[in-house]
């Protein structure tokens, strides 16, 4: 087996930026447009970086993706770009632009309590948010791949290189349109789960199936509605029942449009904030905004 060369020299920022751009944009040509250089220059930089570390960093496919070794350097490239942008902002504030912060957040949080974070960031003139919408049980994967600097996740175990803090509990309730619940009630007025149509968010959404498993009921075929606002609209319209965040449910329940189907069963999803362990004032400020918003909304 050929020995890999020791990493004794610094890894050039331009080469790391080329690698990140290829992974972000999917092709060498698109990366070149983003970096305002030629595709040949991007290819040369990535090859030079691969030679320096003695490993393949990019799978040349459609789209291009990072290898495991490439992901390590993608994370390094993003961290380096963030710290450099912050340093430039401190040294030349009159010429400072906006620094991009990639954040993974689940759709229900984005539709409810995380909007307070957007309101806070709207008042900042030095940040660009790049939100990736991902299920809370899977958003930590984006941290591992270096596609996000921070994430709202249900995983309390920190990704390597990240810190984690508990934000609170997001509570879900089984709910349906009032008329639909009445149509599919049994003789005692309880939901006839075997006949009640169901809505799920996407294949990763197991909240409805988990509740039915607790009740000992087989899950029926389900409608799929993959955005939080449209999921709420579908349940409100009577397409089927679904698990709704308390914050979305309460106003419609008060208006008589929705009813809880299992008042004694609340599903709590613990949410955590994971972020890269970087000495970054921007990430610190974003963390403070997330922490404050969670304190106001999550139990």
What's 182's domain CATH number?
Answer: 3.40.190.10
User: How many secondary structure helices (H) and strands (E) does the chain include?
Assistant: 12, 11
Distance between CA 263 and CA 273 in Å, rounded?
A: 29
105 and 28 within one domain = no
Q: Tell me, what CATH number does 41's domain have?
A: 1.10.10.10
What's the structural domain count of the chain?
3
237 and 280 within one domain = no
Phi, psi of 85 (to 5 degrees): -65, -40
Question: What is the predicted pLDDT for the residue at 32?
Answer: 96
End residue of a domain, out of 54, 77, 100: 77
Q: Domain for residue 7, yes or no?
A: no
147 and 19 within one domain = no
12 strand-pairing partners: none
Domain residues for 157?
91-169+270-297
174 and 261 within one domain = yes
236 and 213 within one domain = yes
Give me the mean pLDDT over the 278-298 stretch.
95
Looking at every residue in the chain, the average pLDDT score rounds to: 91
Question: What is the predicted pLDDT for the residue at 185?
Answer: 92
Band of pLDDT at residue 278, cut at 50, 70 and 90: confident
139 and 50 within one domain = no
Contact 66, 74 (CB under 8 A): yes
């Amino acid at each position: 087996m050929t020995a890999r060369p020791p990493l004794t020299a610094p890894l050039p920022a331009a080469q790391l930026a080329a690698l990140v751009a290829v992974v972000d944009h999917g092709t060498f040509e698109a990366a070149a447009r983003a970096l305002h250089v030629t595709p040949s220059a991007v290819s040369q930089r990535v090859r030079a970086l691969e030679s320096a570390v003695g490993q393949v960093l990019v799978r040349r496919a459609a789209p291009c993706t990072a290898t495991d070794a490439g992901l390590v350097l993608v994370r390094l490239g993003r961290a380096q770009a963030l710290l450099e942008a912050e340093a430039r902002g401190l040294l030349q504030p009159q010429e400072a632009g906006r620094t991009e912060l990639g954040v993974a957040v689940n759709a229900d949080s984005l539709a409810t309590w995380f909007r307070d974070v957007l309101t806070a960031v709207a008042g900042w003139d030095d940040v660009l948010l790049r939100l990736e919408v991902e299920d809370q049980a899977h958003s930590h994967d984006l941290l591992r791949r270096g596609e996000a600097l921070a994430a709202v996740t249900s995983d309390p175990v920190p990704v390597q290189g990240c810190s984690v803090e508990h934000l609170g509990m997001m509570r879900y309730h089984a709910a349906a349109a009032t008329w639909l619940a009445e149509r599919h009630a049994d003789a005692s007025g309880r939901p006839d789960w075997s006949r009640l149509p169901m809505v799920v968010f996407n294949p990763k959404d197991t909240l409805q199936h988990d509740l039915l498993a607790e009740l000992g009921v087989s899950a029926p075929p389900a409608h799929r509605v993959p955005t939080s606002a449209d999921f709420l609209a579908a349940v409100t319209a009577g397409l089927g029942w679904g698990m709704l965040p308390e914050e979305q449910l309460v106003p419609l329940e008060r208006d008589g449009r929705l009813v809880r189907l299992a008042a004694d069963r609340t599903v709590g999803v613990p949410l955590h904030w994971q972020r890269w362990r970087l000495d970054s004032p921007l990430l610190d400020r974003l963390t403070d905004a997330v922490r404050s918003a969670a304190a106001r909304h999550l139990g």
